[in-house]
Structure 1
Amino acid sequence: MATGPMSGDMEATPPGFVEEIDSDEIIVEEVVGRGAFGVVCKAKWRGMDVAIKQIESESERKAFIVELRQLSRVNHPNIVRLYGACLNPVCLVMEYAEGGSLYNVLHGAEPLPYYTAAHAMRWCLQCAQGVAYLHCMKPKALIHRDLKPPNLLLISGGTILKICDFGTACDIQTHMTNNKGSAAWMAPEVFEGSNYSEKCDVFSWGIILWEVITRRKPFDEIGGPAFRIMWAVHNGTRPPLIKNLPKPIEGLMTRCWDKEPALRPSMEEIVRIMIHLMKVQFCLT
């Protein structure tokens, strides 16, 4: 199959941005997980390890098109790379993250890998850098809308973090009232049905920061269906403050999960603060 711009439903994606890949070149090895839509498999393509995401139903096609369109626009070291897509069967061909998800590092099977506070800060900084890139994109910025550890992948021995799962991402100019995302990391304005902005990603990032530092699942003590977490967050419940956490880190974290989106910092500000805190607290650059 010759390579070229995608066709059919793919026409909304800028031509030339996405390589059409012949499915005969792909050797599927094993299922490794499930994304916001579809099944994710490890595969070989032209001698290289890749991840392929396949849709299982027509209802998943819209999310597939969203992810294809958005990933075709981005190029950042902390965002998973899209190599191309197949038309038959329909699938995305992406960078493979051998370290798995950050969620599995935090909460997976025993024995859990050891990591330090410096590792936690580096992961959160890299996540912030990737999201800041999305928020600053031109002509249309992107909101991820589903930031959480299952959508943060690790490579290079766990030293590099990559953001994935763009099936819920949207242009910042869009008026958004759909309850995309996951309850424990979701900003209140999202599940309340209000229009929301890129600051919903900032809220999610603040919850992730708490989770990585504590190695605890956010709102795990609430239990039950998702609406119980949503109701608690709506009423002002946030994860408990962390004993002996340096005040500058605590202050940044609590600003991020402020009820009022306008009072949350931008992702660019978060990146600047994190770089400074890592130099001061951990002597890291």
Structure 2
Amino acid sequence: ESRRSAAMVEAPAGCLFEDIQYEDIQVEAAVGRGTFGVVFKAIWKGKDVAIKTIESENERNAFLVELRQLSRVNHPNIVKLYGSCDNPVCLVMEYAECGSLYNLLHSADPQPHYTAAHAMSWCLQCAQGVAYLHSMKPKALIHRDLKPPNLLLVARGTVLKICDFGTACDIQTYMTNNKGSAAWMAPEVFEGSNYSEKCDVFSWGIILWEVITRKKPFDEIGGSAFCIMWAVHRGTRPPLIKDLPEPIETLMTRCWDKEPSQRPSMEEVKNTMNHLMKVQ
């Protein structure tokens, strides 16, 4: 009995996550892989959902972390968890019909057009979601793997939702599995130093550069995670952007400062972005 009740996690605002029966889910198609697990589109209670399943025992830990983290959060810019299923083990989440920001930026064919206002709005929404995570009590929830593949779009691409919380704890496993995150990773994280929520601020600064330029960060260094980490460790950052308004450039470069203490808080990033978007 204790196992069942463990899955019923009391959420903020009194919304209860459900123990979902697998029979009640109509699985349709695989849509991709997360940092861990495979994600399928499905239908549950008449609505489109995403279900995330684990493929091996060693993913169970990341799965339980994601369940625990997502069940504590309730924010419009964070993917909503509807519930979980015991057998087979899976998470049932909100489905993002527009896919990831990464796909919109780099993979979609034909490439969708977007404006500077879209770029700023996505980054503001990301900052809002992360500022909320950092304000969690008793202690800040650090995402640790912010990058466009983990930012999902809904409502015709206008609303951004952060996903993939399986890494929000065990960093060692995560470093092993996540060679694909080097371009957005703060130096103190891969150096194995103590790190704080300021590592998310670093990642956010790289994402801002990426949506403004529509280029993959450090693409010219080539695919090797090690080469990117070495460059970032030595102080290499993406090139500055011609004609970028000075306040945006200042915000971006402060976010990717080598010294975490010199980076703004996510709350400050959010407020600055809000202010800059009113000024435009």
Q: TM-score, normalised by structure 2?
A: 0.93
2:174, 2:158 → 1: CA distance? Answer: 32
Q: Which amino acid aligns with 1:28?
A: V
Classify 1:179/1:190 alpha carbon distance in 2 versus 1 (closer, same or farther; 3 Å).
farther
Could you say which residue in structure 2 is the equivalent of 1:246?
245
- Aligned partner of 2:3 in structure 1 is 7
Q: CA deviation at 1:164?
A: 0.2
In structure 2, the CA distance between the partners of 1:12 and 1:262, relative to structure 1 (3 Å rule), is farther
Task: Give the Cα–Cα distance (whole angstroms) in 2 for the partners of residues 13 and 186 of structure 1.
Answer: 34
1:96-245 mapped onto 2 (5 Å cutoff): 96-170=95-169, 180=175, 182-245=181-244
Q: Tell me the alpha carbon deviations over residues 238-285 of structure 1, each in whole angstroms, 9 at most, x when there is no partner.
A: 00000000000000000000000000000000000000000112xxxx
- The 1:220/1:14 distance shift into structure 2, 3 A limit, reads same
- Contact 1:30 1:42 (C-alpha < 8 Å) held by counterparts: yes
Give the distance between the partners of 1:235 and 1:179, measured in 2 at CA.
23
Please tell me the residue identity of whatever aligns with 1:198: E
**TM-score (norm. length: structure 1):** 0.91
- Number of corresponding residues: 272
Gaps of 5+ in 2: none
1:93: how far off? 0.1
Distance 1:6 1:52 in 2: 24
Query: 1:150 aligns to what SS in structure 2?
Result: helix
Q: Distance in 1 between matches of 2:128 and 2:137?
A: 16
* Separation (CA, whole Å) in 2 of partners of 1:28 and 1:179: 28
- SS of the residue corresponding to residue 49 of structure 2 reads strand
Alpha-carbon offset, residue 138 of structure 1 = 1.0
Change (3 A) 1:7 1:126: same
The answer on whether the counterparts of 2:7 and 2:19 sit within 8 Å (CA) in structure 1 is no
Q: CA deviation at 1:140?
A: 2.3
> Greater shift after overlay, 206-215 or 176-185?
176-185
What does 1:5-154 correspond to in 2, within 5 Å?
Answer: 7=3, 11=6, 14=9, 17-154=16-153
Indicate conservation of the 8 Å contact 2:98/2:156, yes or no: yes
The answer to whether the 8 A contact 1:13-1:72 is kept is no
CA–CA separation in structure 1 for the residues paired with 2:140 and 2:127: 15
Give the percent of matched residue pairs that are identical in Structure 1 and Structure 2: 76
CA contact (8 A) 2:17 2:82 kept: yes
Q: Report 1:261-276 matches (<5 A).
A: 261-276=260-275
Distance 1:178 1:194 in 2: 16
Cα distance in 2 for partners of 1:224, 1:149 equals: 17
**Deviations 1:163-211, CA, capped at 9 Å, x for gaps:** 00000113xxx9x677645100000000001010000000000000000
| Distance (Å, rounded) in 2 between the aligned partners of 1:153 and 1:6 | 34
Change (3 A) 1:89 1:177: closer
Give the CA deviation at 1:139: 1.6
Does the 8 Å CA contact 1:99/1:153 hold for their aligned counterparts? Answer: yes
CA deviations 1:116-135 (Å, max 9, x no partner) are 00000000000000000000
| Structure with greater proportional helix content | 2
Provide the C-alpha distance between the structure 2 equivalents of 1:104 and 1:249, rounded to a whole number of angstroms. 24
Decide whether the 8 Å contact of 1:202 with 1:267 is kept in 2.
yes
Q: Within 2, Cα distance between the matches of 1:140 and 1:191?
A: 22
Aligned equivalents of 2:190 and 2:127: distance in 1?
23
Distance 1:78 1:115 in 2: 20
For the residues of structure 1 that align with 2:8 and 2:64, how far apart are their CA atoms? Answer: 8
Structure 1 equivalent of residue 255 of structure 2 = 256
Runs of 4+ in 1 over 6 A off after TM superposition: none
Aligned mates of 2:145, 2:7 — CA distance in 1: 23
DSSP 3-state at the match of 1:210:
helix
The separation in 2 between residues aligned to 1:178 and 1:244, in whole angstroms, is 41
The residue matched to 1:7 in structure 2 has which SS? Answer: helix
Structure 1 gaps of 5+ residues are none
Per the alignment, in what secondary structure is the counterpart of residue 93 of structure 2? strand
CA-based RMSD: 1.8
